[in-house]
Structure 1
Amino acid sequence: MAIKPARNTTSVTTSYGEPYDALVLDAILRQSLVTVRTLGQRGMRVAALETSSYKLIPTFSSRWCQHSFIAPNYSQSDAPFVEYLKLLLQNNAARMLFTSSDGTLEILRAHRAEFEPLTRLAIGNEAALKIATNKDQTLEIAHRLGLGVPEGVTLSSRAEVKEALKIIGLPAVVKPNESWLWGEQHGVRLTCALVATPDEAYQAVEQLTLDGGSVLFQKFLTGRREAMSFLYANGEMYARFAQWAKRTQPQLGGTSVYRKSIAIPDDIGSQAERLIREINLDGYSEVEFRRDAAGKPYLMEINPRLSASVEVAVRAGVDFPYLIYQWAMGERIDRISSYRTDKWMRFLEGDMMTTLQALREQGRPGVTDAREALLGFWGSFFVPCNYDYVDIHDLVPAWVAAQNLAYRWRLNRKEKLARRDK
C-alpha cells in the first residue's frame, strides 16, 4: 500500500524519512488543530492524518503541520486503516501518536500490541480505559464513591422500554453505554437522545441497539453542564481545569460550542479527582457533570481522550496537548497550579447550528426559548471571546473551515433537492 501525502495545496509538506515528534490522528477535529498548533509553536515537527471521508481539512492547512496524510476510512473495517498506519509509522517515524475520536481510540486499544513497538501511544492503561469507556461501569464506581449518579436503568432492547418508562418517566435521556461500537460489518459512533414521548423512547432505544450493546435510560436533568479536565500520571495530578458549557450542539449531550473557564467548583472538583484516582486513569481525561434544577451535580461520563473543548483550557494557560506529550514520552511533566478564569471560547458554526435547532424545536424539553436563544447568540458577539480555528498567527485554517462549512451546506442542499424531486 502506497503512503501518500494529502493533496491539499495549503499544507506544509516535508520529505519522507525524517522523524516527527508527533503524529496527530483525526485531523478534521478542532482539538487536533489545537494540538498541531501548540506543539508546532514549541518547535516540534508535527504531522497530521485523516481518512478519505473528508474533503477540506483545516488542520492540514496550518503553518505548523509539517506533513498531512490521508488514510483509508475505517467505518466499514479497521484493517485497511491499521495496515496504512503501521506502514506509515515504519516508513516515517513518529515519536508519539495523538488520538481525538472514539473510533481511533478503539482501534489503538484493539491493536495496541502492534503499534507500541512503533511509537508511543497517548492513551491510558487498558484496565482504566475499559471502565472509562463503559458508562455502566463508570457510574457503578461513582455511586460507590458517593458521587451523584442520575436515576436510570440499563436496556438492551426495545421490549424493555415499557418498564423503563414506568420507572423513570418522561422526559428522559437515552445514552449508549459505549460511544463507539463495532457491528458485524461496520463501526459506528453512537450519541444520546432526548425523548419526550413514548414513541420517541421506543424509537431511540431501537436505533441505538441495532448493532448490539446496551443503553442507559436516565432521568432528564436541566441544570448547568460543567466539566473537569485532568492530567494524571504515576499517582499524581499534574493539571486540573474546569469549564462551563453555556451552549452545546446538539443542545443535549453535544459538544460545547460556547464555553468558559471557571474556578474549580468545590463539589465536582473533588468528586472528579476521586473518580480518576480510583479508576487510575492515567493521561488526559475530561469528567462531565450535569446539575439538576437545585444545583446538585450528577456524573454524566468520562472522556478518556483529547476532547473538542480543550482549546479553552489552552487559551486559559493549561496546555494539555503538551502535557500529554510529556507524559507519553516519559519526560518530566510540568505542574500547572493555576489558570485564567472567565476566558470565553466559541465554536461559531456549532453555535449557529444550536441556535437554529432551538428555533425549530420550540416547546421541547431542554430547548432554549426562541427569544433567549437569539439574544444569546447575537449578544455573544459583544463579549470578549476567542473563536475556534481563529489564530492571528495561523489564519489559513479558519478560511478552510469556512470553505468546509460552505461545501457541506451546498452538498446538503443538493441532497434535499434531489429527495424532493423524486
Structure 2
Amino acid sequence: MYDAVVLDAALRQSLVSIRSLGKQGLKVAALEAENRVPAFASRWCRQGIVCPSVAGTDDYLAFLEQWLEHSGARVVIASSDSTVALLRQHRERLEKQVKIALARDPALRIAINKEATLEVARQLGLAIPRGVTINAPDEVSAALKEIGLPAVLKPVESWLWDEQQGGGVRFASRLVTTEDEAQRAAEELTYLGGTILLQQFLTGRREAISIMYANREVHAIFAQWARRTEPQLGGTSVLRQSIAVPSDIGAQSERLIREIDLEGYAEVEFRRDQAGIPYLMEINPRLSASVEIAVRSGVDFPHLLYQWANGGKIDTVRSYRVGKWMRYLKGDIMTTIEALQKRGRPGITPPLQAVRDFTFSFFQPMYYDYIDWNDLTPAIKASTEFTFEWVGGAIAKRLSRIKRSSS
C-alpha cells in the first residue's frame, strides 16, 4: 500500500516530491517511461516503475490503471504537461482508484490557457504584455505591425496532441527579431492547429510567486527571482534566489488565484519592464522545476499538495528563509553555451559576462539541484549520465565531421 505515486519521475520536481514525502514517513513510488531516472535511486523511492509506453498515450493510461489497481496508492502527483492533460481527460475514471493532486476544471482549464489567464488578469487590472492572437502564419505580418520587433511568440497552450506521431508535443516560447523568423516560428507552433500569442519583448527581472491555495485559504506563499534561465528566454530557472514576497505581485497573485479559484499548488510568473512594473506571463498549475528552492527555504509545497489531495489537514506556513541561492548546474552549463552560440541576440547575455557569471557562481554559497547529503545516489547518477551524454555527443559530432570531410 503506497501513500503516493509520483509520475514524470525524470523531472527535477519529481525527485523533490519523492524526498519530501519520504522524509515525512510516507511510502512513495515513482513512475516514468524510461529506466535511466536518478529519482529511482533515491533512498525514499520505495519502487521505481518503468512504463513501456509514452506518457500521455492510451497505453500509458492502461499501464497506470493496472498498477494503481494492484498497488493501492492513495494519491497521484504529476508534473508534466502531457500527464496533466491525460489526468484531466480521464479524471472521473481514475478517481475511482486514486486521488489526484491537481486542480479541477474550469479553474485548471483557465490556468493552462495563457489567453484565458491573461483575460482574467486584465479584468482584475493586472498589467499584461501587449499581444495579438495568431491562428495561422499568414496573420504574422499584421500582428508585427501592431507589436513590433523584437517580439516573443508563444503557444496559448504549451502541450498539444499529435495524432500522426501518437504522442504529445511541448512548445516553448520563441524570440523573433525579423519577420522571416516570426513566420517560421508561427508555422512550427501552429502546425498542430494550436493558437499562438505574439507579445512585446520584456527584458526586466523575472520573478515568480508560488501559492498553496485550498478551501478559500492561502496556506503558503513563496517568492523567488531567476537570475539565469535555460533557455534564456522563458525557460526554467537554473540560478534562483528566495526573496521576500513583493507587495505588488504577491497581492496580484493571490487575487488572481482566488478569482480563478485555482486550488492546489500554482506558480504565477511575472516579468518586470525597465521601469520595474510587473507584467503577468502565465500560471503553472503543477509543481514547477524550481520548487526545490522553496522546500530548502522552509516551504514544503509537495507535502502541502499531498495533504490537500489526501483530504487531510493542510499545514499553514507563515514564513521562510530569504536570500537562499539554488543552482541547476547542468542547465547553467547549457545557458552559458547558449550565450556563446547566440551572441548579439536580444536578451542573450554577452559571452564574456556569461562565462564570468558562471564561474563566479561557484564561489557563492548555495544549494544545488539533485544534491542532498542524506541522499547522494540520485546526484551521482545524474552527473554520470550527463557526463556520458556530453562525451558521447562530442564524439558523435567529431566522427560526423570526419565522415563529411572524407567523403
- Interval containing the TM-score (normalised by the shorter chain): over 0.9
Offset at residue 294 of structure 1 (A): 1.0
2:50 maps to which residue? 70
- CA 1:367–1:94 in structure 2 vs 1: closer, same or farther (change >3 Å)? same
Return the match for 1:97 from 73, 76, 84. 76
Is 1:50 the counterpart of 2:50? The answer is no
- CA 1:377–1:393 in structure 2 vs 1: closer, same or farther (change >3 Å)? same
Alpha-carbon distance between aligned partners in 2 of 1:308 and 1:73, rounded to the nearest angstrom: 23
1:16 maps to which residue? none
Gaps of 5+ in 2: none
1:343-382 to structure 2, matched below 5 A, reads: 343-382=324-363
2:117 maps to which residue? 138
Alpha-carbon distance between aligned partners in 1 of 2:385 and 2:257, rounded to the nearest angstrom: 37
- Give the secondary structure class of the aligned counterpart of 2:106: helix
Alpha-carbon distance between aligned partners in 2 of 1:411 and 1:195, rounded to the nearest angstrom: 32
Return the match for 2:21 from 34, 39, 49. 39
Return the match for 2:39 from 55, 59, 65. 59
- Give the secondary structure class of the aligned counterpart of 1:314: helix
Is 1:110 the counterpart of 2:92? The answer is no
- CA 1:323–1:415 in structure 2 vs 1: closer, same or farther (change >3 Å)? same
Offset at residue 165 of structure 1 (A): 1.1
1:335 maps to which residue? 316
Alpha-carbon distance between aligned partners in 2 of 1:72 and 1:136, rounded to the nearest angstrom: 35
1:304 maps to which residue? 285
Offset at residue 417 of structure 1 (A): 4.8
Offset at residue 333 of structure 1 (A): 0.5
Is 1:28 the counterpart of 2:28? The answer is no
Offset at residue 406 of structure 1 (A): 2.0
Alpha-carbon distance between aligned partners in 2 of 1:192 and 1:417, rounded to the nearest angstrom: 31
> Do the aligned partners of 1:183 and 1:212 also contact (CA within 8 Å) in 2?
no
Query: How many residues are treated as equivalent by the alignment?
Result: 401
1:15-414 to structure 2, matched below 5 A, reads: 19-52=1-34, 55-74=35-54, 78-185=57-164, 186-413=167-394
- CA 1:213–1:388 in structure 2 vs 1: closer, same or farther (change >3 Å)? same
Structure 1 residue identity aligned to 2:388: Y
Q: Aligned Cα RMSD in Å?
A: 1.2
> Do the aligned partners of 1:57 and 1:404 also contact (CA within 8 Å) in 2?
no
Alpha-carbon distance between aligned partners in 2 of 1:376 and 1:73, rounded to the nearest angstrom: 41
1:8 maps to which residue? none
Deviations 1:319-376 (A, max 9, x none): 0000001100111111100000001010000001101111111110000122221121
- Percent identity of equivalent pairs: 56
Alpha-carbon distance between aligned partners in 1 of 2:52 and 2:169, rounded to the nearest angstrom: 16
Alpha-carbon distance between aligned partners in 1 of 2:358 and 2:277, rounded to the nearest angstrom: 27
Alpha-carbon distance between aligned partners in 1 of 2:52 and 2:192, rounded to the nearest angstrom: 22
TM-score scaled by structure 1? 0.93
Offset at residue 304 of structure 1 (A): 0.3
TM-score scaled by structure 2? 0.96
Offset at residue 164 of structure 1 (A): 1.0
- Give the secondary structure class of the aligned counterpart of 2:371: coil
Offset at residue 72 of structure 1 (A): 2.9
